[in-house]
């Protein structure tokens, strides 16, 4: 249904306004969306540039509209901000994605899930402290309902000539090109003329993958051997094998249709890369496939293809052999199949389905021709050293892709994820390297169960979402600390570094405990995270020059009424930290 509040089906849709009581809030939570504000710099100098991040987290299938042409009433997402003495530039919007509207029977551009809009601004020379006021409006719809939302939020901005702006909370992304809703001409003649021949070529190319090449001669000889009685039977079996391959791609086409119609949305490949779990899973998959290319483990050819078990299965068995042969190509052709599937999700259903079927037809064509003319088999390249080189090269390419994916893992989860990938590779080596053809079934099962347990246990502890600290850590700024001291406010400085393993342990065992966080908040302590990862960071210099410390981790307490600071080195500091915090009146 088209999500317009004016049509009878949705006549009851309403205009909802965020209720405001007292000062503007920097975070608003409703039943459909959570909106929060974050400053790039908490303190800003006059005549400088900074930005404000407006973070959205929508629930379920609710979404904002990126295109006024398809938004109910033309009300696409609009965000404005104002602050006397500041000039705001055009918002930097995230990449919108396709949503399949079953009522319109077409794709529309929307924002959903977690996304961020950035508002860059420049400060004037005479600017003073103030609140940035943000106005948000737009139509918000789910697969059943629509309403117009309007929110007013605010966040304080502090102006200081001594503001340290070297450690921004985030960096501005590049501006995304505006994407309009695709017109009905998506499946015009030119697109079809390009897409369909390319589909057949892509299918043919799948047969040169190193996973497929060793199977091809075996399959053809099996088909010819089973059909020695007549030429007609040979051609019939070749056609059956071809159909089996096409059925594999028909299954992909059915999956595409199910996601497009059954769930009322388009599977947007780009959006998945905003999900850390998906990125980690894809990185792990690339590592496993690379291990396969390096020969650490092998995927055995089923007996129905390589043995004699299927000689008397008839035409139905031949079709099953074709399906399995296509399935065997997936370890090498995974990247191609994913790219094709992602493309198919953005096309008209008939074009996507036809394209996927033609890829299967292209892959199965050589088998049909070789069963018709078995003599061609003698002219095909024979497996040899070139195939091994090709496989290993592909393995390194897969590792490069894994490294590229790993670069997108959130920093807080990067190191544990790296440890998991190493353990995963070790477990895969156990799976394939600790057994051979002569290994008994019992020992083989035991070894492979051990490999699975290693993967599951390490994944459980290394890939779990890190517990978020309830402490409002501020970036290190000597001026802010001095100001807090003047106001008799207690200060806690946690000196840390990205390379410091014990610093991570300290966070887990002390600072992420609810009791510690509540105590720091209850005593109105200014919590400062001092990053000393690099030698030239100001926090590194002050740790040595002001506080006389050279080892990490170390916590410094500056308490009201005390000139000397309190040093809490190492990770076993909880008891002394609690005692000192409780001493604060």
> pLDDT digits over 170-212, tens only?
988 876 555 544 443 343 344 566 767 877 887 787 776 656 6
pLDDT > 90? residue 288: no
pLDDT > 90? residue 6: no
Whether 335 and 201 have beta carbons less than 8 Å apart is answered as no
How, if at all, do strands 33-39 and 491-496 pair? unpaired
How many C-beta atoms lie closer than 10 Å to residue 71's C-beta?
24
pLDDT > 60? residue 434: yes
- pLDDT higher at 179 or 73: 73
Return the HEC string of 269-296. HHHHCCCHHHHHHHHHHHHHHHHHHCCC
What does the pLDDT read at residue 387?
Answer: 66
User: 348-388 pLDDT, tens per residue?
Assistant: 778 778 888 888 888 888 777 777 776 665 665 565 676 67
CA angle 580, 583, 584 (to 5 degrees): 100
Q: Sign of the CA dihedral 140, 145, 146, 147?
A: negative
CA atoms within 13 A on the CB side of 59: 7
Dist. CA 299–CA 210, nearest whole Å: 12
Please state which of the ranges 318-332, 438-452, 467-481 shows the lowest mean pLDDT.
318-332
How many C-beta atoms lie closer than 10 Å to residue 29's C-beta?
12
Spatial CB neighbours of 382, under 8 Å, sequence gap ≥ 6 = none
What does the pLDDT read at residue 457?
Answer: 93
pLDDT > 80? residue 345: no
- pLDDT higher at 490 or 436: 490
Would you say how long the chain is, in residues?
A: 585
What does the pLDDT read at residue 513?
Answer: 86
Scored b (16 or more CB within 10 A) or e, 390-428 reads bbeebbeebbebbeebbeebeeebeebbeebbebbbebb
How many C-beta atoms lie closer than 10 Å to residue 130's C-beta?
16
- pLDDT higher at 222 or 485: 485
Residue 445 token pair: 């099962």
What angle do the packed helices 411-433 and 441-462 form, to 10 degrees?
Answer: 180
DSSP state of 181: P
Dist. CA 504–CA 554, nearest whole Å: 12
pLDDT > 90? residue 411: no
Dist. CA 177–CA 231, nearest whole Å: 58
Dist. CA 101–CA 446, nearest whole Å: 50
Please state which of the ranges 67-71, 167-171, 180-184 shows the lowest mean pLDDT.
180-184
Q: How would DSSP label each residue in 85-152?
A: TEEE---BPPPPEEEEETTTTEEEEEEESEEEEEEEEEE-TT--SEEEEEEEEEEEE-SS-EEEEEEE
Whether 107 and 346 have beta carbons less than 8 Å apart is answered as yes
Q: How far is CA 519 from the centre of its chain?
A: 35
- pLDDT higher at 185 or 462: 462
pLDDT > 60? residue 565: yes
pLDDT > 60? residue 25: yes
Q: Between the CA atoms of 404, 409, 411 and 417, what dihedral angle is there, to the nearest 10 degrees?
A: -100
Which residues are registered as beta bridge partners of 401? none
Dist. CA 208–CA 216, nearest whole Å: 10
Dist. CA 72–CA 70, nearest whole Å: 7
Which of these, 261, 292, 270, lies nearest to 339 by C-alpha position? 270
CA angle 171, 284, 501 (to 5 degrees): 60
The pTM for the full model equals: 0.47
What does the pLDDT read at residue 393?
Answer: 82
Dist. CA 436–CA 518, nearest whole Å: 57
**Residue 406: helix, strand or coil by DSSP?**
helix
Top mean-pLDDT range of 142-156, 317-331, 526-540: 526-540
- pLDDT higher at 259 or 166: 166
Give the pLDDT mean for 521-536.
91
CA-CA distances (angstroms) from residue 74 to 70, 138, 491? Answer: 7, 9, 50
Whether 567 and 585 have beta carbons less than 8 Å apart is answered as no
Domains of the chain in sequence order: 8-167 (2.60.40.1250), 190-409 (no CATH), 474-582 (3.40.30.10)
pLDDT > 90? residue 404: no
Give the pLDDT mean for 290-301.
76
pLDDT > 80? residue 230: no
Residue 532 token pair: 């000393």
Mean pLDDT computed over every residue of the chain: 79
Please state which of the ranges 140-144, 214-218, 548-552 shows the lowest mean pLDDT.
214-218
Scored b (16 or more CB within 10 A) or e, 485-500 reads eeeebbbbbbbbbeeb
CA-CA distances (angstroms) from residue 519 to 61, 354, 373, 439, 508? Answer: 39, 63, 82, 59, 16
Q: What region does 570 belong to: left with phi over 0, alpha with psi -120 to 50, or beta?
A: left
What does the pLDDT read at residue 5?
Answer: 40
Which of these, 406, 253, 252, lies nearest to 330 by C-alpha position? 252
Q: How far is CA 165 from the centre of its chain?
A: 29
Dist. CA 469–CA 511, nearest whole Å: 7
CA angle 114, 118, 121 (to 5 degrees): 165
Hey, which bits of 187-267 come out as E strands? none
Dist. CA 2–CA 72, nearest whole Å: 9
Q: What region does 250 belong to: left with phi over 0, alpha with psi -120 to 50, or beta?
A: alpha
Q: How would DSSP label each residue in 359-376?
A: HHHHHHHHHHHHHH-GGG
pLDDT more than 90, % of the chain: 30
Dist. CA 297–CA 434, nearest whole Å: 10
């Amino acid at each position: 249904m088209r999500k317009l509040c004016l049509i009878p089906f949705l006549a009851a849709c309403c205009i909802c306004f965020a209720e405001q009581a007292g000062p503007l809030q920097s975070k608003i939570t409703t039943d459909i969306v959570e909106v929060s504000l974050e400053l790039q710099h908490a303190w800003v100098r006059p005549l400088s540039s900074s930005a404000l991040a407006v973070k959205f987290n929508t629930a379920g299938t609710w979404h904002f509209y990126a295109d006024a042409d398809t938004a109910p009433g033309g009300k696409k997402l609009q965000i404005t901000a104002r602050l006397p003495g500041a000039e705001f530039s055009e918002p930097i919007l995230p990449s919108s994605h396709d949503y399949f509207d079953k009522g319109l029977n077409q794709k529309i551009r929307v924002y959903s899930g977690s996304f961020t809009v950035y508002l860059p601004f420049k400060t004037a020379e005479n600017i003073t402290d103030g609140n940035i006021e943000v106005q948000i409006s737009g139509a918000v719809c789910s697969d059943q309902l629509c309403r117009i939302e309007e929110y007013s939020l605010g966040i304080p901005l502090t102006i200081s000539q001594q503001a340290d702006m070297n450690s921004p909370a985030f960096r501005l992304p590049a501006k995304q090109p505006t994407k309009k809703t695709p017109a009905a001409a998506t499946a015009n003649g030119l697109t079809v003329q390009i897409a369909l021949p390319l589909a057949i070529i892509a299918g043919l190319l799948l047969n040169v993958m190193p996973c497929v090449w060793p199977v091809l001669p075996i399959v053809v000889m099996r088909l010819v051997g089973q059909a020695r009685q007549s030429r007609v039977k040979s051609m019939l079996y070749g056609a059956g094998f071809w159909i089996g391959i096409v059925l594999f791609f028909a299954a992909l086409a059915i999956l595409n249709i199910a996601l497009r119609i059954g769930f009322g949305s388009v599977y947007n490949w780009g959006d998945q890369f905003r999900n850390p779990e998906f990125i980690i899973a894809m990185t792990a998959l690339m590592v496993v496939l690379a291990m396969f290319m390096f020969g650490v483990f092998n995927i055995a050819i089923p007996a129905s293809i390589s043995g004699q078990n299927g000689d008397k299965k008839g035409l139905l068995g031949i079709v099953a052999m074709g399906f399995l042969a296509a399935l065997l190509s997936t370890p090498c052709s995974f990247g191609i199949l994913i790219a094709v599937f992602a493309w198919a999700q953005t096309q008209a259903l008939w074009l996507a389905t036809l394209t996927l079927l033609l890829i299967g037809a292209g892959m199965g064509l050589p088998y049909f021709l070789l069963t018709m003319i078995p003599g061609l088999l003698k002219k095909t390249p024979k497996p040899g050293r070139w195939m091994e080189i090709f496989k290993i090269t592909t393995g390194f390419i897969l590792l490069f892709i894994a490294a590229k994916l790993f670069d997108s893992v959130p920093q807080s989860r990067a190191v544990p994820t790296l440890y998991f990938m190493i353990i995963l590779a070790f477990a895969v080596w156990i799976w394939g390297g600790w057994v051979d053809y002569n290994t008994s079934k019992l020992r083989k099962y035991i070894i492979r169960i051990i490999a699975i347990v290693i993967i599951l246990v390490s994944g459980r502890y290394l890939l779990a979402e890190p517990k978020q600290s309830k402490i409002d850590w501020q970036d290190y700024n000597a001026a802010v600390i001095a100001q807090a001291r003047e106001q008799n406010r207690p200060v806690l400085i946690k000196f840390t570094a990205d390379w410091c393993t014990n610093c991570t342990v300290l966070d887990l065992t002390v600072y992420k405990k609810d009791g510690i966080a509540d105590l720091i908040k209850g005593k109105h302590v200014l919590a400062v995270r001092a990053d000393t990862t690099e030698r030239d960071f100001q926090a590194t210099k002050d740790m040595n020059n002001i506080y006389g410390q050279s080892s990490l981790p170390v916590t410094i307490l500056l308490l009201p009424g005390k000139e000397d600071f309190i040093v809490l080195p190492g990770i076993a500091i909880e008891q002394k930290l609690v005692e000192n915090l409780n001493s604060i009146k």
